[in-house]
Amino acid sequence: MNMKRLRVWVSLLGVVFILSACEKAPVNITSVSFVNDDKGSGNFNRMVKICFEEPLSSTYYHKITIVTKQSYKLTGGNFLRPMASDPDNKCQQRNLYSYINKSSPLGSREMIKDYMTPGNIHQVLVQIYANKPKGKELPMTEALFTNL
């Protein structure tokens, strides 16, 4: 009887250890800015720069919602990974065009080019998740920035 209890106890400890090992460290978003490089190619002339308190040490999923002063809205998401080439960098740059998806409005590429510029952003909501959300999971952290 005691051996059964011991096996159950060891099994439960193993599950707790596995679950705690999968947990990702929380991240804090410190700033968001927009990079406008009119000299860049058509695919890299609009970038968003998301900065964290510490460099990322794990892979996270993020969702971003950008609203311009003209009320144009772009929503999308993708993975943020630690940068192998610059592991001490606290900022991640993302191409705004990569947020275009099947639910984006028609003309999104032109909207980004014409309106998603520094000084013309009303608000940005950034949400960070440990993994890609499958339903209505709450983000592990989120931040709202205005007048960028």
What pLDDT score does 136 carry? 87
Q: How far is CA 116 from CA 20, 34, 61, 142, in A?
A: 40, 8, 22, 21
* Both structure tokens of 141: 């952290």
Give me the pLDDT at residue 11, please.
52
Q: What does pTM read for this prediction?
A: 0.79
**Residue 70 pLDDT grade (very low, low, confident, very high; cuts 50, 70, 90):** very high
Q: Average the pLDDT over 88-103 and give the result.
A: 92
Triad 78, 48, 103: Cα angle to 5°: 45
Q: Percent of the chain at pLDDT above 70?
A: 80
**Measured between alpha carbons, how far is 110 from 49 in angstroms, rounded to an integer?**
20
List, in sequence order, the alpha helices (H) in 23-147: 108-115
- Say if residue 39's pLDDT is above 90: no
> Is pLDDT at 37 greater than 50 in this prediction?
yes
pLDDT band at 2 (very low <50, low <70, confident <90, very high): low
Q: Which CATH architecture has domain 25-146?
A: Sandwich (2.60)
